[in-house]
Amino acid sequence: MPSYTVTIATGNQWFAGTDDYIYITLVGTEQCSERTLLDKPLYNDFERGAVDSYSVRVEENLGDIVLVKIEKRKYWMQDDWYCRYITVKTPSGDYVEFPCFRWLVDDKEVVLRDGRGTHIPQDDKTGLVKQHRQKELETRKKTYRWKEWQPGFPMSIDANRHKDLPRDIQFDSEKGVDFILNYICGGSNLFVNQFIHMFQSSWNDFADFERIFVRIKNTISEYVMQHWKEDFMFGYQFLNGCNPVMIQKCTKLPDKFPVTHEMVSVSLERELTLEKEIEAGNVYIVDYKVLEGISPNCTDPCTLQYLAAPICLLYNNTHNKILPIAIQLGQTPGEDSPIFLPTDGEYDWLLAKIWVRSADFQHHQTITHLLRTHLITEMFAVAMYRQLPAVHPVYKLLIPHVRFTIAINTKAREQLICECGIFDKANATGGGGHIQLVQKCTKSLTFRSLCFPDMIKIRGMDSKEDLPTYFYRDDGYQVWEATKSFVSDVVCIYYTSDETVQGDEEIQAFVKDVCSFGMQDFDQCEFPKSVKTREELIEYLTVIVFTASSQHAAVNFGQYDWCSWIPNAPSTMRKPPPKQKGLADVNLIMESLPDCGRSSWHLGAVWALSQYQENELYLGMYPDEHFIEKPVKEAMGKFRKQLAEITSSIKKRNEGKKLPYYNMSPNKIPNSVAV
């Protein structure tokens, strides 16, 4: 009587084990085994982290094993179980692996396909595997449904609460990523709890902010606190701060920003006119026009809050330092919208810079961070679950890079960006302004703007000779190329030609779902509706992996460094932008900056958002072996080697720097958007 040895691995995460009954059925090309209970006498089966083996006896040989059906049935009370993989040893001694990496909840069954072969749809020849593939996608489309959380947003998952999500995409421990708990923990760690309810209470002077600022020696945050008033620090942040995506080469001064040579001549160092400096490529501009018309937070009737849409002109001096030379705090020039200059009074100039920093904070939080990493990655993730079965190589490639993204975004919609959420407590765009901002920017969001080299080039920031200290660009180029090389290696293993890509109906459905449903076919989105070549598919997948990992890391994990010193990144302003010069003093600035309560909520926010998760998986780490093929494992090894070399070069460059840049260092880039 032939006997098959079945080995089953249970997950290592909390509550992965089960006491429920587990049954298995082996499906071969010739016939199926009987439904068999997997149970050893006097043994606790399927414990957390366990690898258990069982014998399945059959009357006759089953042929090639192509499917395995696993069923879980209640023993005493429902007990979820996480299965990592199943290996079947045939009577002839061959091993067949069945990757699983999913939860079995309630009285659920899962049918797994072996991990061998290419498994793109046109390679399936038998009705059995075609039917399995089709049934999985039909079930997925019912489980992963699109929903428009707010009109004009990229589409997201249809779930109101974290606990409503499919178990496979929930956090392992919901408690660990609860925003409220993290804020309380942050407040305790940062000693701000005594101030957190002190709304309307202004600080007396800048030194007062040190009462909630935790001084950590020899860190960027401490350096920012010491130098935030200086022009070089203000300019440097446009290159390597939290929001290094706004600065662009100025090729012509816009009519709405009438800066003259006479205004800025004292700031120019090359004995050229402003016009000639622009022609020489030494002038840069930052324009927060997207903030114009956005409603400021009015959730607290006791505190008026204000937004501005400033424009800032920057100059690359002879020491390659980016310095501000002119600031206008609105989009419309005129007597009520003066152009502030470094030659103005100390506090006039400082207050103008603070307004720019506050606008930059709003743009960063809502557009650069929320929209362009979190929401976009979730959109790709939902489309992936809906259109790609677990055996598809692109599913296997992407799944580590969307881990927990839908969960963290659902939590954010529950607690952070919802009505009366945490966002409303401290941010000038709270109370609905952040919704308007996402709606406004989604209309103009293009696929090409997510391609890192294009994003750099379209802003005229691609010359290393012009800007040798733009580390975000330099490190980003390296990581983008390494990621693209890895994606290319994987794609070329499974797709032998452009025709193979065109013939993959699942990939085409995935790309179309993103554009037609995820982006709702917005007129300006320019997302592709199909991919026709291997190169197009490689770029498309590189965008997804890079956005979910490297781009998110670059704009997320530096938040405590750059935003914990409140005057450097005010989350709100409590006085309107000045309409004339000569009025600013310390008192006006303190009355404009966030009060004690909002400062404390802000500090708790940037602390919580800057924390890496416990047991974080960094770029290139793939402990769940969705791929079992040797060529892919070799590609992963090559990818990790390239990433290690990039990490080493960044570490070497940072040695001795007072402002090291490491937000794009691969050893600090998590695989996915999970915080």
CA atoms within 13 A on the CB side of 574: 24
DSSP per residue, 480-503: HHHHHHHHHHHHHHH--SHHHHHT
| 369 assigned binding-site residue | yes
DSSP state at residue 647: H
Rounded Cα distance between 590 and 575, Å, is: 10
| 374 assigned binding-site residue | yes
Question: By CB neighbour count within 10 A (0-12 exposed, 13-18 middle, 19+ buried), where does 141 fall?
Answer: middle
Q: What separation, in Å, do the N-terminal and C-terminal C-alpha atoms of the chain show?
A: 53
92's CB contacts (< 8 A; 6+ apart) are none
Rounded Cα distance between 402 and 424, Å, is: 27
| 474 assigned binding-site residue | no
Token code pair at residue 14: 């909390």
Q: Decide: helix, strand or coil at residue 22.
A: strand
Q: Are 240 and 470 within 8 A, CB to CB?
A: yes
Q: How open is the CA angle 317-319-321, to the nearest 5 degrees?
A: 60
| 401 assigned binding-site residue | no
Residue 67, strand partner residues: 27, 113
DSSP per residue, 257-297: S---HHHHGGG--SS--HHHHHHTT-EEEEE-GGGTTPPPP
Cβ neighbours of 476 (radius 10 Å): 22
Q: Are 235 and 323 within 8 A, CB to CB?
A: yes
323's CB contacts (< 8 A; 6+ apart) are 231, 232, 234, 235, 267, 314, 315, 317, 342
Rounded Cα distance between 615 and 108, Å, is: 29
Rounded Cα distance between 299 and 423, Å, is: 11
C-alpha to C-alpha distances, 73 to 18, 121, 371, nearest whole angstrom:
10, 32, 42
372's CB contacts (< 8 A; 6+ apart) are 445, 450, 547, 551
| 106 assigned binding-site residue | no
Q: Annotated binding site: which residue ranges?
A: 17, 39, 79-80, 369, 374, 552
Q: Annotated binding site for Ca(2+): which residue ranges?
A: 17, 39, 79-80
Q: Annotated binding site for Fe cation: which residue ranges?
A: 369, 374, 552
